[in-house]
């Protein structure tokens, strides 16, 4: 089991959290102007790197706040945790 450090509540078991997918995906400002292909790309196409990856997590069984995590997809090690809106930490090879 992973232990994830909530920026507000501290370290907790993974069972208290919900995974929210890749971090830093920006919603299009004018979705009506997108083609079907562009809209599908926004909705479904995500990076699936081998190595460090920025993800969104929610402390759903705690403070219910969203935050970002840099996690290694090979070792599952959590390299960094930071709040939404904060500048992502510099991490080698993170997408």
Q: Examine residue 54 and state whether it is found in any structural domain, yes or no.
A: yes
Provide the 10 A C-beta neighbour count for residue 73.
14
Cα separation of 67 and 55, whole Å?
Answer: 9
- pTM, rounded to two decimals: 0.86
Cα separation of 34 and 73, whole Å?
Answer: 32
pLDDT digit string, tens, across residues 39-76? 999 999 998 899 999 999 999 999 999 999 999 999 99
Q: Examine residue 43 and state whether it is found in any structural domain, yes or no.
A: no
Domain that holds residue 72: 1-25+49-95
State how many domains the chain has: 1
Percent of the chain with pLDDT over 90: 85
What is residue 91's predicted lDDT score, i.e. its pLDDT?
A: 79
Tokens of 73: 């997809």
What is residue 1's predicted lDDT score, i.e. its pLDDT?
A: 78
Provide the 10 A C-beta neighbour count for residue 89.
13
Q: Examine residue 60 and state whether it is found in any structural domain, yes or no.
A: yes
């Amino acid at each position: 089991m992973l232990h994830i450090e909530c920026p507000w509540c501290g370290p907790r078991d993974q069972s208290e959290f919900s995974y929210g997918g890749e971090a830093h995906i920006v919603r299009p400002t004018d979705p009506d102007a997108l083609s079907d292909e562009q809209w599908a790309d926004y909705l479904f196409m995500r990076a699936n790197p081998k190595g460090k990856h920025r993800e969104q997590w929610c402390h759903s069984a705690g403070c219910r706040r969203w935050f970002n995590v840099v996690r290694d997809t090979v070792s599952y090690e959590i390299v960094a945790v930071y709040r939404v809106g904060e500048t992502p930490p510099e991490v080698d090879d993170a997408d």
